[in-house]
Amino acid sequence: MNIASKRALKIGALALAATLAAATLTGCAKETTPTTGEATITVYSGRSEDLIADLLKDFTKETGIGVEVRYSDSASLAAQILEEGNNVQADVFFSQDAGALGAVAEAGAFKTINPDISNLVDAKYRSADNTWVGVSGRSRVFSYDPKQVSAADLPKSIFDLADPRWKGKIGIAPTNASFQSAVTAMRVLKGDDATAAWLKAMKTNAVLFEKNGQILEAVETGQIQAGLINHYYWYERAAEVGEDKMTSKMAWFQAGDAGNLINVAGIGVLSDKPEAQTFAKWLLSETAQTYFVEKTAEYSLTGIPAQDNLPALKDLPAAKIDLSALAPLAKTLELIRDAGLTD
């Protein structure tokens, strides 16, 4: 299959994914005034402005390269990239998750990232063909109230949450991209039938929220016993109120479980501008990696130690999955919708 045909197929799948997600994902696309610089790159960013605006300013300050940004959710931006084809208006795609990067890569839209850049990251956090590279990592976790859930009662697998024991006690965010990537991991590791059955059980058992932060708040205030979130939400709150003031704790499922997905935010290069490669390399610099560790409580992918109260990335009981396999999002959204978890 040629690049044009692959691109057409991916546009259809991503357009469906973007349409299904549009009502509840992170808002409409937003243009920003470019940061000042003699040379300029255009970035399509699935990462929100509040997370990376200061980071982009640091990039311009250090390199003199200006940045013009279009913010939206990663699935919609991936669909736009493929729709634009050879006339793509961006130099770089900065995605919130590996799934969207994989979809664009499969369609042949990315340039090759220089090996001296991609080799800065462990092979499991980048594509095998150097079309995209992860720049920060995050882990899915089980947040729980130890007053209501004892250590002995912690679920060993995410699939255990289908048990009626969790009815009305577990929080999920079915419209959130991180939840959707986690469901894709479940599909890859356990199959569509098992995942569809789990989602239907969640329709009965789960309390639905829009965002991870809302789930954590509900656990903290005793509204629910537990929830599925990204690790950094817990650490951000602990930094604000003090770890000793936290009601909730975090746990991981048994080693290798689909619920322990470690996903990445990552980057793919769309143009031949040398400044695009410069941006990719800079995101793996000590400055940028320290930013992810200190400002967003994420994991560095180049070896900078995590925050003191975080387990090391290498010690996490991660799901055994190729992150490129997270690309087929449309089927995941279909299963979530068919289970009645979204409109």
3-state SS, 10-27, equals: HHHHHHHHHHHHHCCCCC
Judge whether 114 and 10 are in contact, CB under 8 Å. no
**pLDDT digit string (tens) for 117-135?**
999 999 999 999 999 999 9
User: How confident is the model at residue 29, as a pLDDT?
Assistant: 56
User: What are the extents of the domains in the chain?
Assistant: 3-137+263-313, 138-260
User: How confident is the model at residue 5, as a pLDDT?
Assistant: 45
Please state, for a pLDDT cut of 70, what percent of the chain lies above it: 89
**pLDDT digit string (tens) for 281-290?**
999 999 999 9
| pLDDT at 35 exceeding the cut of 90 | no
Q: What is the mean pLDDT of the chain?
A: 91
Please indicate whether residue 327 or residue 227 has the higher confidence score (pLDDT): 227
Say whether 143 sits in a helix, a strand or coil. Answer: strand
Pick the CATH number of 138-260 from 3.40.50.720, 3.40.190.10, 3.40.50.2300, 3.40.640.10: 3.40.190.10
Please indicate whether residue 338 or residue 26 has the higher confidence score (pLDDT): 338
- For residue 246 the two structure tokens come to 């936290």
Topology classification of domain 3-137+263-313: D-Maltodextrin-Binding Protein; domain 2 (3.40.190)
Looking up tokens 């679920």, which residue turns up? 155
Question: pTM here?
Answer: 0.87
Fold agreement between 3-137+263-313 and 138-260: yes
Determine whether the annotation assigns residue 232 to a binding site.
yes
At position 21, the amino acid (one-letter code) is A
Determine whether the annotation assigns residue 144 to a binding site.
no
